[in-house]
């Protein structure tokens, strides 16, 4: 392939069409007259973030990109990294959409921007980018955020910030948005939507909640004069309610002929989906081993927290074989883990936990080497390796964590993930993106980081009470969608937790059709909450069904029926 360098357009506003903006039916927070004010130029601070040349990008189409850091906590030195792509269609009037990848701990830059729905895909040579003609920035201005701190290029000067949960993630994301709008004030009046997938099933509704509460209550720095114009959100294959999502995964495996009836019955009968779900007994990385020991009562909570806080999991694998020479405290904790492990290497024979592990291990054997994120695809696809690695680190205590082990076979993620990582670790690319300018990252950029210690309680908490609050007290539109061949957070679990909300049906179950006239999936309306499937899509819907995903996205953010 030819290697191209391109200078990106300096001002897409010159080519904009002065069309009437798409507003909410009730006028939203801003009147039409206000929305029709002249579109102001970018601030000088925004222009500093403009990406003038992205190495390896094709000459066409021209894409207007900005990227950089925004400080969300001066005292802690916490900075979040973003990439912003202006709409290539009608940037003056198209909606603004924030995209969040999940994990927790996975990058929206390596995920959404570079391997799912962004303007480019990396190539095997690691040098060039190819255009994505189904990029979501063809219909909206897209904002990609690496959150929380220590994910991707996002940083903090405070090491304890690595211990994080849902509350601070949401609060930091809102603070980021407020300061981003200060830098890009021309977008304050645009319709604003949230979007994401997987663990963004927590991030997205929680961020919507803090935005709406903040619009009503926050008067700091006179920001009450500039509320965030949130219209709603869309979230795919959303991790929402552990018992239902976990049970849905097992039922999906069985209903699609992946596991036997005996194995399915064994998992259902012996595994606690709410707190300690199926574990793979043969852990091969240190974080997974810690989770296994803790969940089976082998080590104390204090010991595990100490190891997590003092150990570099990227460098210690397995934990008991490599100890950083500098860390006496680290060695102390490793010793505390090693001794009880030797005395109690497995759950007691015949215990419920031991039987659960046995049935889950049996399920893995029955599945074989399939792509659990897209069961009809080959194993070498973009999204699965990235999220599989993070689930193996973060969500070991349910079927998601168990199922990932078959997918991780080497130090590098296969296919597009490794290509994206190689590209984003190029120094010229980082400098072009205004990322890691001073070399503050302690190691290479990683698509999913092992550096954060995410709250176990938050990981397993339910988002259903928040959905009930949003439905009862707020006026936003919510789309929950599912790729119907994802076996990790499958459609079965999502349908069951939505059914559990006991909402009236306002739009009957029906197929929806894409631009080709083919059935794109099925949808049902429950007032402010809409559910849709995307036919033939896996966990990473925007990549595995590009056309259908773009059709669904376009209709939703422009308030057109599916």
pLDDT tens digits, 79-101: 999 999 999 999 999 999 999 99
Of 254, 272, 255, which Cα lies nearest the Cα of 263?
254
Q: What is the CATH number of the domain that holds 60?
A: 3.40.50.1820
Question: Taking 50 as the threshold, does the pLDDT of residue 6 lie above it?
Answer: no
**Average confidence score pLDDT of the chain:** 80
Question: Taking 60 as the threshold, does the pLDDT of residue 489 lie above it?
Answer: yes
Q: Which comes out higher in pLDDT, residue 267 or 390?
A: 267
Question: Taking 60 as the threshold, does the pLDDT of residue 219 lie above it?
Answer: no
Residue with tokens 């206000």, as numbered in its chain: 34
Residue with tokens 């291990």, as numbered in its chain: 361
Q: Quick one: pLDDT band at residue 217, thresholds 50, 70, 90?
A: confident
d(CA 114, CA 421): 10
The 3 state secondary structure assigned to 46-83 is: HHHCECCECCCCCCCCCCCEEEEEEEEECCCCEEEEEE
Is 58 a domain residue? yes
Helix (H/G/I), strand (E/B), else coil: 163: strand
The residues, any chain, with a CB within 8 Å of residue 333's CB and separated by 6 or more, are 303, 306, 307, 310, 311
State residue 164 phi and psi, 5-degree precision: -150, 160
Flag whether the pTM goes above 0.75. yes
According to DSSP, residue 40 is labeled P
- To the query of whether residue 224 is one of the catalytic residues in this protein, the response is no
Q: Which comes out higher in pLDDT, residue 216 or 288?
A: 216
Is 145 a domain residue? yes
Is 473 a domain residue? yes
| Candidate ranges 10-14, 25-29, 47-51, 394-398; pick with highest mean pLDDT | 47-51
Domain count, the chain: 1
Is 532 a domain residue? yes
Q: Which comes out higher in pLDDT, residue 126 or 395?
A: 126
Is 248 a domain residue? no
Mean pLDDT of the 243-271 span: 94
Mean pLDDT of the 447-452 span: 91
Mean pLDDT of the 291-319 span: 47
d(CA 168, CA 190): 26
Catalytic residue among 23, 413, 417, 486: 486
d(CA 396, CA 313): 15
Contacts 24+ apart (CB under 8 A), 503-507: 503/471, 503/527, 503/529
**Beta carbons of 482 and 236 less than 8 angstroms apart:** yes
Question: What value, to the nearest 5°, has the Cα angle with vertex 522 and ends 521 and 523?
Answer: 130
Q: What percentage of the chain reaches a pLDDT higher than 90?
A: 62
Mean pLDDT of the 263-292 span: 60
Write the pLDDT tens digit of every residue in 493-524. Answer: 999 999 999 999 999 999 999 999 999 999 99
- To the query of whether residue 513 is one of the catalytic residues in this protein, the response is no
- Full residue range of the structural domain in which residue 237 is found: 12-241+459-557
CB neighbourhood size of 297 (10 A): 12
Q: Which comes out higher in pLDDT, residue 381 or 73?
A: 73
Mean pLDDT of the 543-552 span: 96
Is 285 a domain residue? no
- To the query of whether residue 309 is one of the catalytic residues in this protein, the response is no
The confidence score (pLDDT) of residue 159 equals 95
Residue with tokens 């007290």, as numbered in its chain: 473
The confidence score (pLDDT) of residue 461 equals 94
Q: What pairing do the DSSP bridges indicate for beta strands 230-236 and 529-534?
A: unpaired
What is the C-alpha R_g of the chain?
Answer: 23
d(CA 311, CA 326): 11
Of 283, 275, 404, which Cα lies nearest the Cα of 341?
283
Question: Taking 50 as the threshold, does the pLDDT of residue 114 lie above it?
Answer: yes
Write the pLDDT tens digit of every residue in 373-418. Answer: 888 877 654 444 455 544 544 544 444 444 443 443 333 334 677 8
The confidence score (pLDDT) of residue 61 equals 86
Burial 166-197, CB ≥16 within 10 A → b, else e = bebbbbbbbbbbbbbbbbbebbbbbbbbbbbb
Q: Which comes out higher in pLDDT, residue 167 or 394?
A: 167
Is 341 a domain residue? no
The confidence score (pLDDT) of residue 521 equals 97
Among 180-189, 257-266, 361-370, name the one with the lowest average pLDDT. 361-370
Of 168, 187, 174, which Cα lies nearest the Cα of 220?
174
The confidence score (pLDDT) of residue 400 equals 43
Catalytic residue among 147, 156, 198, 295: 198
Mean pLDDT of the 5-18 span: 31
Mean pLDDT of the 226-236 span: 96
d(CA 145, CA 154): 9
Catalytic residue among 190, 434, 526, 539: 539
Q: Which comes out higher in pLDDT, residue 346 or 107?
A: 107
Q: Quick one: pLDDT band at residue 38, thresholds 50, 70, 90?
A: confident
Is 540 a domain residue? yes
The confidence score (pLDDT) of residue 126 equals 80
The confidence score (pLDDT) of residue 124 equals 83
């Amino acid at each position: 392939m030819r290697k191209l360098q391109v200078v990106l357009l300096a001002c897409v506003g010159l080519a904009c069409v002065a069309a009437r903006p798409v507003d909410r039916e009730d006028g939203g927070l801003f009147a039409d007259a206000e929305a029709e004010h002249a579109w102001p130029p970018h601030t000088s601070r925004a222009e500093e973030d403009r990406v003038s040349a992205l190495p390896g990008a094709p000459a066409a189409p021209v894409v207007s990109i900005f990227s950089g850091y925004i400080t969300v906590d001066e005292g802690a030195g916490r900075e979040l990294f973003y990439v912003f792509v202006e709409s290539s269609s009608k940037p003056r009037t198209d909606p603004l959409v924030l995209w969040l990848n999940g994990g927790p701990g996975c990058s929206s830059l390596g995920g959404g921007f570079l391997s799912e729905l962004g303007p480019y895909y990396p190539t095997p040579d690691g040098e060039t980018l190819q255009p994505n003609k189904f990029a979501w920035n063809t219909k909206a201005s897209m904002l990609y955020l690496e959150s929380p701190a220590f994910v991707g290029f996002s940083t903090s000067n405070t090491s304890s910030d690595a211990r994080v949960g849902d509350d601070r993630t949401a609060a930091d994301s809102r603070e980021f948005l407020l300061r981003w709008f200060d830098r890009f004030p021309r977008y304050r009046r645009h319709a604003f939507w949230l979007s994401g997938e997987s663990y963004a099933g927590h991030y997205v509704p929680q961020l919507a909640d803090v935005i709406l509460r903040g619009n009503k209550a926050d008067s700091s720095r006179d920001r009450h004069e500039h509320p965030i114009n949130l219209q709603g959100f869309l979230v795919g294959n959303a991790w929402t309610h552990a018992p239902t999502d976990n049970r849905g995964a097992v039922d999906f495996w069985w209903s699609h002929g992946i596991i036997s009836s005996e194995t399915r019955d064994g998992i259902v009968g012996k595994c606690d989906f709410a707190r300690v779900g199926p574990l793979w007994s043969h852990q091969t990385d240190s974080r997974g081993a810690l989770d296994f020991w803790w969940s089976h009562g082998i080590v104390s909570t204090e010991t595990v927290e100490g190891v997590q806080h003092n150990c570099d999991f990227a460098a210690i694998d397995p934990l008991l074989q490599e100890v950083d020479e500098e860390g006496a405290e680290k060695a102390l904790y490793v010793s505390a883990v090693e001794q009880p492990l030797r005395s109690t290497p497995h759950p007691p024979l015949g215990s419920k936990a031991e039987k659960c592990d046995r049935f889950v291990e049996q399920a893995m054997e029955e599945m074989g080497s399939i792509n659990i994120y897209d069961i009809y695809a080959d194993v070498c696809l973009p999204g699965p390796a990235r999220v599989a690695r993070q689930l193996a680190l973060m969500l070991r205590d349910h079927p998601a964590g168990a199922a990932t082990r078959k997918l991780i076979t080497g130090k590098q993620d296969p296919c597009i993930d490794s290509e994206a990582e190689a590209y984003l670790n190029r120094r010229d690319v980082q400098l072009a993106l205004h990322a890691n300018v001073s070399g503050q990252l302690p190691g290479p950029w990683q698509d999913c980081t092992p550096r954060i210690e995410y709250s176990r309680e938050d990981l397993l908490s339910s988002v259903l009470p928040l959905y009930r609050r949003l439905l009862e007290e707020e006026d936003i539109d919510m789309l929950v969608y599912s790729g119907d061949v994802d076996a990790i957070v499958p459609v079965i679990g999502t349908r069951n937790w939505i059914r559990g909300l006991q909402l009236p049906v306002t739009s009957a179950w029906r197929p929806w059709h894409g631009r080709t006239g083919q059935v794109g999936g099925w949808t049902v309306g429950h007032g402010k909450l809409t559910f849709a499937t995307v036919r033939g899509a896996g966990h990473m819907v925007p990549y595995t069904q590009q056309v259908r995903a773009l059709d669904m996205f376009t209709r939703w953010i422009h308030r057109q029926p599916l």
